[in-house]
Amino acid sequence: MITFTGRAKEDITFNSLEYSLPRKKAILAGFLRINGYLGRRENLSIVSMATENAKVAKYLYQLFKDVYDIKPTFNYVTRKNYGKKTTKFIVVIDENVEAISEDLSLNFYSTTIPRTIVYSDDTLAGYITGAFLASGSVTSPKSSNYHLEIVVDHEKLAERIKKMIEGFAKASFNPRVTKRRDKFIVYLKKSDQISEFLIFVGASNASLEYESVRIDRDMQNSTNRMFICDNANYQKTLKSSEEQIENITIVKKYYDAKVLDNPKLMALMDLRLNNEDANLQELADLLTEEMKSEKPISKGNINHLFIKLKKLAEPYKNK
């Protein structure tokens, strides 16, 4: 089953073939810098790129064909690791390698980002797109642990990619850098920034899916919290009601109407006995109607009457 990361990367490959030539070059440069390898075959220089996503490999193949009018070699290698079968798809450039490397300002040992490749928002987005396709991942929006990352080998390169993401003019990103074993991770943790980043790299459909699932999950969590809160409030109301009914029973036993001389309190006592699970606001509305009051009786007024009732009952509670 394809992961959300896989769907996001495939979304990029579907939506970005009409990009400008400079942006396409920046995508290739970003991917090659992180996941490209320079080698030799039959005394000729070659550049190879590996990915576990077949559509990403096909996309790279098509980009090289469009930009440089060449036909890369395309193959795959299948391996078993701890019983799990994995397939790597490999795109190999074996013609015009020197000219292409020069045109993309490729230097597999440098941590600088070439200004000849990245010089605008458009090319910046392209380079980061290539980097994400090469070593990026994003957690499923179904998870509460929102996380998007790009993995690189060098700390300085991670810091430069971080600054590039921060510098994108059309969005506000707050990436961080951390070390994991011998790798350096550029990551985002805020869900709104992750959603914006997916649009930034051309995965707009994945962003819509991300937001839809995240909002549904957050709404469900909010509903659950409201239910818990409402239930807690209901239990609190019942507990208060039990104490109030006890006080009413005592007051009715030891006091008569002349001593109380408070029609509002007398009416509230009867309302509470007949509405054991009513909260303060509901009692306030009922008492307003009962007393035919032009001015609504407040919750504060109801609370004040119950405090008075408690004081009246207190001396008789141990009898």
What average pLDDT does the segment 77-97 reach?
82
Alpha carbon separation from 210 to 42, 81, 136, 171, 269 (Å, rounded): 47, 31, 16, 17, 54
Give the three-state DSSP class for 314: helix
Q: What are the b/e assignments for 100-118, b being 16+ CB within 10 Å?
A: bbebbbbeeeebebbeebb
* Nearest alpha-carbon partner for 13 in 53, 70, 66: 53
pLDDT at 176 over 90: yes
Give the three-state DSSP class for 180: strand
Q: Tell me, yes or no, whether 168 and 254 share the same domain.
A: no
In-domain check, residue 219: no
**What's residue 191's pLDDT?**
85
**What's residue 317's pLDDT?**
80
In-domain check, residue 217: no
Q: Tell me, yes or no, whether 192 and 256 share the same domain.
A: no
Q: Tell me, yes or no, whether 112 and 256 share the same domain.
A: no
In-domain check, residue 210: no
Rounded Cα–Cα distance for residues 203 and 16 (Å): 9
Q: Which residues contact 142 (CB under 8 A, 6 or more apart)?
A: 213, 217
Q: Tell me, yes or no, whether 31 and 163 share the same domain.
A: yes
Rounded Cα–Cα distance for residues 260 and 237 (Å): 25
Per the structure, the count of domains in the chain is 2
In-domain check, residue 189: yes
What average pLDDT does the segment 180-204 reach?
91
| Residue ending a domain, choose from 173, 202, 231 | 202
Q: Tell me, yes or no, whether 182 and 272 share the same domain.
A: no
156, 165 in Cβ contact below 8 A? no
Q: Tell me, yes or no, whether 137 and 19 share the same domain.
A: yes
Q: Tell me, yes or no, whether 295 and 167 share the same domain.
A: no
**What's residue 230's pLDDT?**
60
Q: In terms of pLDDT, which residue wins out, 227 or 111?
A: 111
Q: pLDDT, tens digit, for every residue of 8-60?
A: 999 999 866 678 999 999 999 999 999 988 888 777 888 888 899 999 999 99
Token representation of residue 215? 């909002």
Instruction: Output the furthest CA–CA distance in the chain (Å, rounded).
Output: 113
224 pLDDT band, cuts 50/70/90, is low
Q: What is the DSSP letter of 296?
A: P
What average pLDDT does the segment 148-153 reach?
94
**What's residue 267's pLDDT?**
87
pLDDT at 170 over 80: no
Distance in Å from the first CA to the final CA of the chain: 72
276 pLDDT band, cuts 50/70/90, is confident
Give me the helix-helix angle, 263-274 and 299-313, nearest 10°: 90
* Nearest alpha-carbon partner for 37 in 28, 25, 46: 46
In-domain check, residue 308: yes
In-domain check, residue 19: yes
Q: Which residues contact 289 (CB under 8 A, 6 or more apart)?
A: none
The count of other CB atoms within 10 Å of the CB of residue 14 is 13
Q: Tell me, yes or no, whether 190 and 248 share the same domain.
A: no
pLDDT at 275 over 90: no
Q: Tell me, yes or no, whether 165 and 86 share the same domain.
A: yes
Scanning the structure block, which residue is given the tokens 């440098």?
110
Q: In terms of pLDDT, which residue wins out, 293 or 15?
A: 293
In-domain check, residue 250: yes
Rounded Cα–Cα distance for residues 204 and 183 (Å): 28
Instruction: To the nearest 10°, report the CA torsion of 74, 80, 85, 90.
Output: -10
Instruction: Find the CATH number of the domain harbouring 136.
Output: 3.10.28.10
Which pTM value belongs to this model? Answer: 0.68
Handedness of CA 43, 49, 51, 57 (dihedral sign): negative
25, 125 in Cβ contact below 8 A? no
Rounded Cα–Cα distance for residues 41 and 43 (Å): 5
Q: What is the mean pLDDT of the chain?
A: 85
Q: Tell me, yes or no, whether 197 and 246 share the same domain.
A: no
The whole domain housing 268 covers 239-316
**What's residue 300's pLDDT?**
87
Rounded Cα–Cα distance for residues 88 and 126 (Å): 23
Q: Tell me, yes or no, whether 45 and 130 share the same domain.
A: yes
Q: Tell me, yes or no, whether 122 and 259 share the same domain.
A: no
pLDDT at 259 over 60: no
What is the residue type of 123?
Answer: T
41, 94 in Cβ contact below 8 A? yes
**What's residue 271's pLDDT?**
86
In-domain check, residue 229: no
Rounded Cα–Cα distance for residues 229 and 21 (Å): 56
